[in-house]
Amino acid sequence: MNPPGAGASARPGIASIRVLKAEKAVMDAFTAGFDRNRHRLDPTDADELLQDWMQHSGRLGDGQSLTDGQLAMYREMTTGTDLIALVVGSAGSGKTTALDAVRHALGRRGITVYGVSTSAIATQGLKDAARIDGSTVARLLGRIAFATDPAHPARQRIDQLESSGSEHDRRRAAAIRDAYALPPMDHLVVDEASMLAVTEKAQIMEWAQRARVRVTLVGDHKQLKAIGPSSLFAEMIKVRGAVEMTENLRQKTPLGRDCAAFLRDEKPRDALEILAAADKFRVARSEVDKNRLLIESWLQKAAAMPTAADRMRLTGLDADRNDQVDVLNHLARHWARSSGWLTGDDVTFKHAGTERTYAVGDHLQITRNIKRAGDQRDLNNGTRALVTSVGQHGLELTYWDADGQHADQLSVEQAVTHSKHGYATTTHKLQGQTMKS
């Protein structure tokens, strides 16, 4: 392995000084936290709390228990000794179920768990499936910067407002301070941690070390890589080891599980061979031919769905790049109309020189976070929804998550600026979601 402070990007002429400093900061914080976790349970107490969760949570059916990987994750997160812990969780291994058990056990002993992930929709998944309060990584980093930087621009704005003598300005200053306040936490869960750039990881880990907050980094360095310079997730595992969750609870067939395992182990040839042997492999001779094959496969699965809701929730297409997604969305929508899945006329919404066209039955994806007031749920970037009504004032839509079915609406402006067709999506936005194609 590379020495502490030297990751994959640490090569002369390639890594910036900023990245090298971040890599060193990550490894320094990581090693300094060995055997320093004070937010942990006695193993016997942890086992009793797990039994309580299994009896009352309703997450497991009769006679079921956690897998070996889920149990190892639970025990590391509740009784582990290091201030910074590592969990390798492959896709579909049941991480959120284990996290729900962790939240229950630690919460019963007054230890507050908070979660962050790389996207708002993934963070919402933590809230829905594991009942862990949280935010995006970007939001947490903004709060850490405010807490640690005396010259933060928001602090200067607060000072200006408070010195004005106006009651209205004082309320505005208080609102800004509340927006930047760090939430209470004793244990921070960083989901999709292998996708974090090392510079982001350094800010979180240095702050957590000073605040004595326990951090569990959950990721899989064999899946999607960091968006940004370096990551060090694999290097950290080599230093201290990690809990590994490799059981696949998502794919329902042996072929699907074997294929996913080969792809995770970077053996695409083996995955292709077993797919070919099962007559599940097609060779595209061109980009156009590839799109034809993808659309044909999606149409077959979508047509087998009993309802429009199932068609939207359980089927879809993915591609690496946004331009590929746009082509697939155009083709899928054409065939959805031809199949009778879209009803009524197309309605085109226009705003600031951009337009979007929707009809009842369209699949839609939110492309920018939409904050809602009061108790209404926010609409997060990446949320997929079914268009249920189209009118001159905008769209009505229905979407589903771990908490069930929800209704919402978009104004004309939001329909143009905050959404697009959602038959296809990028692979990165698909992280943590389940589709049949």
Indicate the pLDDT class of residue 61, thresholds 50, 70 and 90. low
Express each pLDDT in 165-220 by its tens digit.
899 999 999 999 999 999 999 999 999 898 899 999 999 999 999 999 999 999 88
In three-state secondary structure terms, 89 is strand
115 Cβ contact list (under 8 Å, min separation 6)? 99, 123, 126, 127, 130, 132, 133, 134, 188, 189, 190, 191
Helix 68-79 and helix 95-108: axis angle, to 10°? 30
E-only strand ranges, 206-291? 214-219, 243-245
- DSSP secondary structure letter of residue 317: E
Through-space distance between the first and last CA atoms of the chain, rounded to whole angstroms: 38
Phi and psi at 351, nearest 5°, equal -160, 125
Bridge-partner residues for 215, per DSSP?
A: 84, 188
Express each pLDDT in 346-360 by its tens digit.
999 999 999 999 999
Bridge-partner residues for 84, per DSSP?
A: 215
**pLDDT the model gives residue 92:** 74
**pLDDT the model gives residue 260:** 73
Indicate the pLDDT class of residue 63, thresholds 50, 70 and 90. low
Q: What percent of the chain has pLDDT over 70?
A: 90
Say if CB 364 and CB 418 are below 8 A apart.
no
pLDDT at 397 over 60: yes
Residue range 285-426 forms a domain whose CATH class is mainly beta
Query: Look-up: residue for tokens 């927006």?
Result: 179
Higher pLDDT, 260 or 236: 236
How far is it between the farthest Cα atoms of the chain?
76
Choices 3.10.350.10, 1.10.4160.10, 3.30.70.580, 3.40.50.300: CATH for 17-133+183-245: 3.40.50.300
Express each pLDDT in 319-350 by its tens digit.
988 999 999 999 999 999 999 999 999 999 99
Burial class of residue 433, CB neighbours in 10 A (0-12, 13-18, 19+): middle
CB atoms within 10 A of CB 116: 25
Using alpha carbons, select from 282, 346, 341, 352 the residue that is nearest to residue 315: 341
Q: State how far Cα 300 lies from the chain centre.
A: 29
**pLDDT the model gives residue 212:** 94
Burial class of residue 373, CB neighbours in 10 A (0-12, 13-18, 19+): exposed
Instruction: Give the DSSP per-residue string, 336-399.
Output: HHHTT-SEEEEEEEEETTEEEEEEET-EEEE-S-B--STTSPPB-TT-EEEEEEEETTEEEEEE
Query: Look-up: residue for tokens 């746009």?
Result: 326
Rounded average pLDDT over 20-32: 94
DSSP H helices, 149-229, are 153-162, 167-180, 198-211
**Two structure tokens written together for 137:** 């990584």
Residue spans of the domains in the chain: they are 17-133+183-245, 251-281, 285-426
Rounded average pLDDT over 243-259: 76
pTM of the predicted structure, to 2 decimals: 0.75
**pLDDT the model gives residue 376:** 84
DSSP run (H or E) holding 115: strand 113-117
Rounded average pLDDT over 52-60: 82
